Structure 1
């Protein structure tokens, strides 16, 4: 049995070398882990916060910062909009709003407005500026937005809308919202 395993091992190594495998092995031995500032588990969406990270590059430091912030906010917007869409769809189909197409549409429009307003108020939770040997700048940034802020803002906006206010049940909406935040945290 030992001889069979030895022969099988030699055959596999020979095949790898014959197919250019040796080059791949040599190349992977020199891999170096890259540590990216403002990234990693503590900068990922969890059950309380939506988070996003990005990098901006420019010869002008302020432009690099603006690029990094714009990219991080764009990534955050994509995540928040997707989660809020799932929440509004689930809430609208599960509760009273599911029966009224107009109310459902108004609810989804209101959700988009709230998300767009809240994105302007994102909080920078990390920012690192690096200068390259060539004199250019790399700025790494991470931003966050509290899920609770979005839920409360939606509640306030709905209270201002007479048609939606009669059908809206905040506790049920909040339950669906919290479930989506849990799902988002597990995906990261």
Structure 2
């Protein structure tokens, strides 16, 4: 057999082997018994709070689509309010501890009271960054929502409210407060 004939024959045999083995019927991947993959809308890392934004997600269920949406929005607002309040509490504690306020307890209470007011006002302006509505076979609507509130915008509005309080303004240092606020926001991103 000549070298050319040998190479041609070898090539044909290898080609047939590849074709016949790759044409086998595909085997289905066996799913684990008792487990179903669940997909949730408006969730994941991009919907978590970070160093620049407060974020929150929620779902709401109802036979009425508008009620499902209201439930989701209300729950998301409640969650974002708790996150903002906890952050402001930490900022206030750290800020007041690092300053020379005469009555620290009164100053802390004033800061917290102002924070509640600003949170209530700013939640109305929270941006919807994700919203999905589904309906189950049984007719129940499920609303998924993710809200976002700018940390910088919140700090600015908070500063406006503080500047209206003469008791606090006497000893208030915005730059130090903003620095303390940014430190707490950085912790949200971790």
Shift of 1:60: 0.6
- Secondary structure of 1:167's counterpart equals coil
**Unaligned residue ranges in structure 2 (runs of 5+):** 1-30
Alpha-carbon separation, structure 1, partners of 2:104 and 2:68: 47
The count of aligned residue pairs is 161
**Retained in 2: the 8 A contact 1:122–1:143?**
yes
SS state at 1:70 partner: helix
Which residue does 2:39 correspond to in 1?
A: 35
Structure 1 residue runs without a partner (length 5+):
1-26
TM-score by length of 1: 0.79
Indicate if the aligned counterparts of 1:98 and 1:104 stay in contact, CA closer than 8 A: no
**Root-mean-square deviation over aligned CA pairs:** 1.9
Q: Report the CA distance between 1:104 and its aligned residue.
A: 2.9
Instruction: State yes or no: 1:163 paired with 2:167.
Output: yes
- CA positional deviation for 1:107: 2.1
Report deviation, 1:111.
Answer: 1.9
Q: Does the 8 Å CA contact 1:97/1:104 hold for their aligned counterparts?
A: no
Q: Which residue of 2 aligns with 1:21?
A: none
Q: 1:97–1:111: structure 2 CA closer, same or farther, 3 Å change rule?
A: farther
How much does 1:34 deviate?
1.5
Deviation at 1:161, TM superposition (A): 1.5
Label 1:127 to 1:177 Cα distance change in 2 as closer, same or farther (>3 A).
Answer: same
Task: Verify: 1:185 aligned to 2:164, yes or no.
Answer: no
Is this contact kept in 2: 1:92–1:98, CA < 8 A? Answer: no
- Please point out which of 115, 140, 143 is paired with 1:111: 115
Q: Which structure carries more helix by proportion? A: 1
Go from structure 1 to structure 2 and tell me whether the alpha carbon gap of 1:36 and 1:119 turns closer, same or farther (over 3 Å shift): same
Give the number of the structure whose alpha-carbon radius of gyration is greater: 2
1:100, 1:44 → 2: CA distance? 33
TM-score for the superposition, normalised by structure 2: 0.79
State the match for 2:62 in structure 1.
58
Give a deviation string over 1:135-168, Cα, whole Å, max 9, x none. 1110100001111112101111111112211211
- Return the match for 2:138 from 110, 126, 134: 134
CA distance, structure 1, for counterparts of residue 33 and residue 189 of structure 2:
34
